[in-house]
Structure 1
Amino acid sequence: MRPSISSRVLNSSSLLLLGVADSLRRHPKRVTASLAALLLGTGVTAFGVAPLAPDAADLPVRQVVEVVQPLPTQVQTDALADFSFNLFRTESTRSSDTVNSLLKRLNLDDAAAAAFLRTDPNAQQILAGRPGKNVTVEASDSQQLLKLSMRWSTDNEELFNRLVVERTATGFSSRVETAPYTRSAQLASGSVQTSLFAATDEARIPDGVAVQIAEIFSGDIDFRRALRKGDRFNVVYETLEADGEALRTGRVLSTEFVNAGKTYEAMWFQPPGKDAAGIATAKGSYYTLDGQSLRRAYLSSPVEFSRISSGFAMRFHPVLQKWRAHLGTDYAAPTGTPARTVGDGVVTFAGVQNGFGNVVFIKHRNNHETVYAHLSKINVQAGQSVSQSQTIGLVGSTGWATGPHLHFEFRVNGAQQDPMTIAKQSDTVTLSKADLPLFRQIAAGAKSQLVAAASMNQARAE
C-alpha cells in the first residue's frame, strides 16, 4: 500500500530536521550565522510592512480662546522711576590738572564740589606736590559728588595719610586721617641680560627693590663690573598698601642672586625684644640663610647704587689741571641725591671748607673718620650722633667740583684709605645663640618662598 501524502510530508520533515541537526553538529558556527541573518532580514521586512500612524492633516483641529488678565505694573514702574545708584571711579592726577579737568575725567558735573575743592585747605593737597596720586570718587547717577578719597605716603613707614571729602546736608566737609599700612609679601624673579635695573624692569620689580638687592650683596658682588649675562635672582619683598592700594615698597625680606654660577642668599632678621617704650633693643640686619651676618661695620658706598666716576687712584685733576693722587672716591649722582653715613659715629664738622665746599666729617671708633664733600645741603650738625645709613646731606657741586657728585674719603689715623677695602675688611655683626632657633624657623620659610619665586621665572621662560 502506498504511503499517504501526510506520511510523505512527515517523512520529509523528519529527514529535514535530521539534516539540520547533522549540519548543526558538523558546522555549528556556519548554521548559527545563517540563522542570525535570516532573523535580521525577517525583522527588517516586518518593520517595512508595519502600518503607519494617521496623517496629521486628517486629525481634527480645535481652537481654544481664553482671556488673560495682565499683572499690575504701576508699582514696578514707580519703583524704577524712584531707583537711584552710585558710581565709583578712580583717576590719577596729572601735572597739568586743574580741579575742573580732574572732575571732568572723573565724569562729575558738580559746580559746588569744584568750588569747595578749589578753596578748602585740605582738598588743595590733591593737586599739590607730585602728580600721580590716585583719587577715588563716589558719585550719584546725576554726576554729583558724594564722597572723594585720596591716599599718600609720608616719611613714616608705618602710617599713611588719607584725605576724605564728603557731601553733607549743609554742604561739603573734609578731613585728613592717618592709618596704618597693610603689609603683604610679593614674590618675583628675573635674569640679567644687560644690567640689574633692566632685569628688574623686565620683571616689573620696583627700583627700590633693585637698590636693596644691590646693597645687600654689595660686599660680595660688584654690581658695576661683575654682572654676567644669564645671572639670575629671586626676591621676596614687602608692599605697603593703603586701603588696598599699593603706595610704597617696603623691605626686601629674602633674596637670592646667582652671579657667575655662584649662589648668594640673604634674609632680613630682627631679633626679638623691646624696651619699655616699645623700641626694639636690637637692630635688624641681613643674614645668610645659615646664620652668617651680611651687615658690616661700614657700608661699601655712601650713595645708594651710584656710579663711581673717580676711584682711589692717580688721576688728572679737572680743576687744578695736573696729575695728583685722588685719595677718595667720587660718586656721580644728581643734585639732591641723599648722602648717607657708612657707619655709626659722631659728626665732628659740618660746614664749608676750602675745595670741599659743603662738607661733613664723622668720627668712628678705632680712629676711623669719613668725609662727605661737595654737598648741596647739610642735614646734621657738629656733635650730633649718627647711625649707619642715616642721611647726612644731599649731593651737590659746591667747592672745587665740575659737576654734581659726592667726594667720599675714609681715613685711618688721619691717612686716607681705599673705602672699598675698608668696607670689605670691617667686622660683621654676629647673631647670638639665643636667637638661632627662631632664626632657623624663619630661614626655612624664606627658603621655601625663594624656591616658589624661582619656579615663577622658570614657568615664564617655558
Structure 2
Amino acid sequence: MKLPIPSQILLPVAHSLRRHPKRVAASLAVLLLGTGVTAFGVAPMAPDAADLPVRQVLEAVESLPTQAQTDSLTDFRFKLFRTESTRSSDTADSLLKRLNIDDSAAAAFLRSDANARLLLSGRAGKNVTAEASDSQQLLKLSMRWPTDDETTFKRLVVERGATGFSSRVETAPYVATARLSSGSIQTSLFAATDDARIPDGVAVQIAEIFSSDIDFRRALRKGDRFNVVYESLEADGEPLRTGRVLSAEFVNAGRPYQAMWFQPPGLDANGAAHKGGYYTLDGQSLRRAYLSSPVEFSRISSGFSMRFHPILQKWRAHLGTDFASPTGTPARTVGDGVVEFSGVQNGYGNVVFVRHRNGHETVYAHLSKLMVQKGQNVSQGQTIGLVGSTGWATGPHLHFEFRVNGVHQDPMMIAKQSEAIPVAAASMPLFKQLAVGVRTQLLAAASITQTRAE
C-alpha cells in the first residue's frame, strides 16, 4: 500500500527545482556516479593466478661476435703523463726513473744532446713533464724556465720521432692571470706573505708601493693586515714568475692605505706610451720625487741616529742609513739627477754622489762595483752600482745619505714630504671607472682571510 506524500514535503521540493535546476541536477549526477563506483567496487574479482595454466618456452640464443673487440683491445695503446722536479744529485737515469720511464735510448740522448743537458744544468727544482707509452718508453719530455725578458719564457722539448730523438728550444709568451690573496701581520711582512703562500716578489712590491706612507722596517704592528691582487705569469699553465701587483690595500695601526696600477691611455708629447704608476683610489699618485730606499725592501742594520762606530770604537752621529744586503745587490738612485762623483773616497770606499734639484744630494757608499760616470744623467730607480763592503765597512751593506743644502736629513722623512702628482683630468673618468672594479676585487681578496679563519 502506497502512502501519499504530504504536501508540506512536495511543495518545498518543487520550489527548489524551479529555483536551482542545475544544482539539483548536479547533485543527482554525483549520487548516481557514487552508486556506479559502489557497484564496481563489489564486482567479482578475476581468477586466482595460481589456477592459470603454466607453459615453459625454451629458445637457443647465439652470442655476439667478440673477436673484433678482442683484436681492438690488443691493439689499444695509452699514454702516461708525469711531472717531477729536478734535484741537485740527478743524473739522466735517476730523473727518468722517478718519471717511471725505462728507456736506455732516452737516457743516452739526454746525456749527449746539448739542448737536453739543460735539464740538469744550473739550479735544481725545475719542473719536467714527461709523456710515456704504456711500455714505459719516452715519447716527449718538456721543461720551461724564465728569461730576463719579463714577457717570454723558454721551453725545452725532447721528442721521439720515427728516426730517433730530437730536441729544440722554443720561446713563447707568458699568460698572465690575476690572483687574489690576503694576510695578517704577526711578526713581519715576509712571514705574513709566507703564511699566505704569496711570492716574495709580491711582498717586495707591496712594501715599495706604500713605502712613502708606511715604514715597513719600524712601523708595522701585530694585527696589521693586507689584501692584494697580483699577476701570476704562467708558462703552459705552470706559474714561472710573479707579475705586477694590480691593486693592494694595507691597514697599518688601524689606518687603511689603498693603491691601484693605472696607465693612462694614448701617447705622450714624444709619441711614446704614457708611463703607468700606482695611485690612491681617489687619483693621487703614489710615485714621489724620491724613493724611500736605495735598495729593494730589506732589513735596516743602522738607522739615522747616534751609534757606536764599529771601527773608530766611539759614539758618533750616524748621518745616514745602512741597508744590510748581500754583495752584488743592485743599488738604485732614489730620484732623478746628475752624477756628481763616481769613484773611491776615504772611508766611503767606492761611492756615488748624485745631485738633484732644489739643493738635494744623495750618497751611495761601500759599493763593490760602480756603474755610472761623473756627469751622467740618472733617473729614479736606475741601478748606479752594486752593494759591497769597500772602505770602512765591516760587512756588505749600502751606506746611504740624503743632504739638503749640505745638511744631512732623514731620507724617510724626505720621501714622505716629497710631492705627488694626481691623475690627469683627461684620464680621470676612465680611472674612476676602473677604481670601482678595484674596490670590488679588494673586498673579494679580504674575504679570503675570513674564509681561511673559518
TM category, shorter: 0.7 to 0.9
- Partners of 1:126 and 1:380 lie apart in 2 by 37
- Partners of 1:402 and 1:210 lie apart in 2 by 29
Letter matched to residue 328 of structure 1: G
- What is the Cα-based RMSD across aligned positions, in Å? 2.7
- Partners of 2:374 and 2:319 lie apart in 1 by 24
Letter matched to residue 299 of structure 1: L
Match of 1:168 in 2: 161
- 413 and 124 in structure 1: CA distance in 2 versus 1, 3 angstrom threshold: farther
- 285 and 276 in structure 1: CA distance in 2 versus 1, 3 angstrom threshold: closer
Query: Pick from 200, 208, 214: which aligns with 2:201?
Result: 208
Pairwise CA distance, 1:298: 0.7
Match of 1:221 in 2: 214
- Partners of 2:155 and 2:71 lie apart in 1 by 40
Match of 2:300 in 1: 308
Match of 1:141 in 2: 134
Query: Pick from 96, 119, 128: which aligns with 1:103?
Result: 96
Match of 2:12 in 1: none
Tell me whether 1:330 sits opposite 2:322 in the alignment.
Answer: yes
TM-score normalised to structure 1 length: 0.83
The C-alpha deviation readout for 1:226-253, integer Å capped at 9, x for no partner, is: 2222222111111111111111111111
- 102 and 384 in structure 1: CA distance in 2 versus 1, 3 angstrom threshold: farther
Query: Pick from 152, 158, 171: which aligns with 1:178?
Result: 171
Tell me whether 1:74 sits opposite 2:67 in the alignment.
Answer: yes
Match of 2:108 in 1: 115
- 277 and 128 in structure 1: CA distance in 2 versus 1, 3 angstrom threshold: farther
Query: Pick from 363, 367, 374: which aligns with 1:375?
Result: 367
Assess if the C-alpha contact under 8 Å between 1:347 and 1:363 holds in 2. yes
Match of 1:449 in 2: 441
Query: Pick from 405, 409, 412: which aligns with 1:413?
Result: 405
Match of 2:377 in 1: 385
TM-score normalised to structure 2 length: 0.84
Assess if the C-alpha contact under 8 Å between 1:312 and 1:329 holds in 2. yes
- Partners of 1:67 and 1:429 lie apart in 2 by 93
Assess if the C-alpha contact under 8 Å between 1:297 and 1:429 holds in 2. no
Pairwise CA distance, 1:275: 6.9
Letter matched to residue 197 of structure 1: F
The C-alpha deviation readout for 1:103-133, integer Å capped at 9, x for no partner, is: 1111111222222222222222222222221
Same amino acid, percent of matched pairs: 78
- 372 and 119 in structure 1: CA distance in 2 versus 1, 3 angstrom threshold: farther
- 352 and 145 in structure 1: CA distance in 2 versus 1, 3 angstrom threshold: farther
- Secondary structure of 1:398's counterpart equals coil
Letter matched to residue 291 of structure 1: G
- Partners of 2:268 and 2:252 lie apart in 1 by 41
Assess if the C-alpha contact under 8 Å between 1:240 and 1:247 holds in 2. yes
Tell me whether 1:247 sits opposite 2:234 in the alignment.
Answer: no
Letter matched to residue 73 of structure 2: L
Pairwise CA distance, 1:395: 2.3
- Secondary structure of 1:339's counterpart equals strand
Assess if the C-alpha contact under 8 Å between 1:237 and 1:252 holds in 2. yes
Pairwise CA distance, 1:383: 4.4
The C-alpha deviation readout for 1:21-66, integer Å capped at 9, x for no partner, is: xxxxxxxxxxxxxxxxxxxxxxxxx99xx999566xx987655443
Match of 1:233 in 2: 226
Match of 1:88 in 2: 81
- Partners of 2:119 and 2:338 lie apart in 1 by 40
Match of 1:25 in 2: none
- Partners of 2:440 and 2:410 lie apart in 1 by 39
- Partners of 1:167 and 1:90 lie apart in 2 by 18
